[in-house]
């Protein structure tokens, strides 16, 4: 059976020598929607939105840098033999979400210390935004025809076409071979995790549990989907980096939830994350006035 649907162009816009790719547009769109969602939540909680904006200004570029560094480290042999600028050619794809998460978490820890706010509350507010941005960002992989799985069995291709739109299946057909759209599997899983996090938010769970649930459930899905992919980064031999890290994150997330349930009773909606309303900031301001 032959399916004759034009494949999608990776290029979004060309202005003279400047080429803008769909990959970057989709990633940026996911980040923008995630920020909008976080700002809406800040409004709901009557928090100081400037804190979130300040954090995003630092976190986004650092997360992208870490995502690229993570990818290049595990693909160093490929980049070592190519042109030096290939290391920076992020528009061609090649960023790892685990690297972005590591960079974002480290930034949040430092930022929370500097601002004297709760890391866990900051992480809880941003977790749904992060998983939604990841769900959207996977479509950038789709446009680049990457992050796909192995070939779909010939006898199953027709069944896939009956379930999925032609444009998805055709874009996943590369050099005459149709591959599993694992980008779609992960995007769908991330949407389900996003819904779960919103439900946990409504339940007003203990502070930190929304973020830790994101870590655990995203890692569960990533572990199984990673096993289907053909472009995995490897640690040693056939050991996939994403699967190893997913296992470690699941274990760490469970341990931290158990620990926090024994050491805190502060819930998600408690103690506003606001420089203007926070007791700590209020006390500091009062002391300064007294000194004057």
- Residue 201 known to bind ligand: no
- 3-class secondary structure, 177: strand
Separation of alpha carbons 58 and 140, rounded Å? 23
**In this structure, what token pair is assigned to residue 283?**
């006390």
Separation of alpha carbons 256 and 127, rounded Å? 16
Specify the pairing of strand 239-240 against strand 234-236: antiparallel
Burial class, 157, CB count within 10 angstroms (exposed 0-12 / middle 13-18 / buried 19+)? middle
**In this structure, what token pair is assigned to residue 215?**
């870590």
Please choose, from the candidates 228, 230, 193, the residue with its C-alpha nearest in 3D space to the C-alpha of residue 213.
193
- 3-class secondary structure, 118: coil
**In this structure, what token pair is assigned to residue 158?**
């027709």
In the block, tokens 């693909």 appear at 75
Alpha-carbon 251 to chain mean position = 19
Separation of alpha carbons 124 and 213, rounded Å? 10
**Neighbouring C-beta atoms of residue 275, cutoff 10 Å:** 19
Instruction: Give 87's DSSP letter.
Output: G
**Which residues are annotated binding-site positions?**
138
């Amino acid at each position: 059976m032959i399916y004759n649907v034009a494949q999608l162009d990776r290029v979004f816009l060309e202005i003279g020598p400047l080429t803008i790719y769909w990959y970057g547009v989709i990633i940026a769109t996911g980040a923008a929607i995630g920020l909008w969602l976080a700002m809406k939540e800040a409004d709901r909680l009557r928090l100081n939105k400037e804190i979130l904006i300040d954090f995003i200004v630092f976190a986004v570029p650092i997360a992208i840098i870490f995502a690229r560094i993570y990818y290049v480290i595990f693909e160093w042999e490929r980049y070592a033999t190519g042109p030096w600028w290939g290391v920076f050619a992020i528009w061609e794809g090649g960023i790892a979400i685990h690297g972005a998460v590591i960079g974002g978490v480290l930034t949040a820890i430092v930022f929370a210390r500097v601002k004297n706010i709760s890391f866990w509350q900051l992480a809880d507010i941003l977790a749904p935004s992060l998983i939604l941005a990841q769900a959207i960002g996977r479509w950038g992989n789709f446009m680049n025809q990457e992050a796909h799985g192995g070939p779909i069995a010939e006898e199953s291709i027709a069944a896939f076409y009956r379930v999925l739109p032609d444009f998805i299946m055709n874009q996943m057909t590369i050099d005459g071979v149709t591959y599993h759209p694992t980008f779609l599997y992960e995007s769908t899983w991330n949407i389900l995790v996003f819904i779960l996090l919103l439900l946990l938010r409504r339940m007003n769970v203990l502070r930190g549990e929304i973020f830790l649930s994101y870590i655990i459930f995203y890692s569960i899905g990533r572990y199984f989907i990673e096993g289907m992919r053909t472009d995995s980064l490897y640690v040693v031999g056939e050991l996939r980096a994403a699967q190893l890290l997913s296992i470690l994150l699941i274990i760490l997330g469970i341990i931290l939830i158990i620990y926090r349930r024994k050491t805190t009773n502060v819930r998600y909606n408690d103690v506003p994350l606001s420089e203007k309303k926070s007791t700590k900031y209020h006390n500091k301001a009062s002391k300064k006035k007294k000194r004057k």
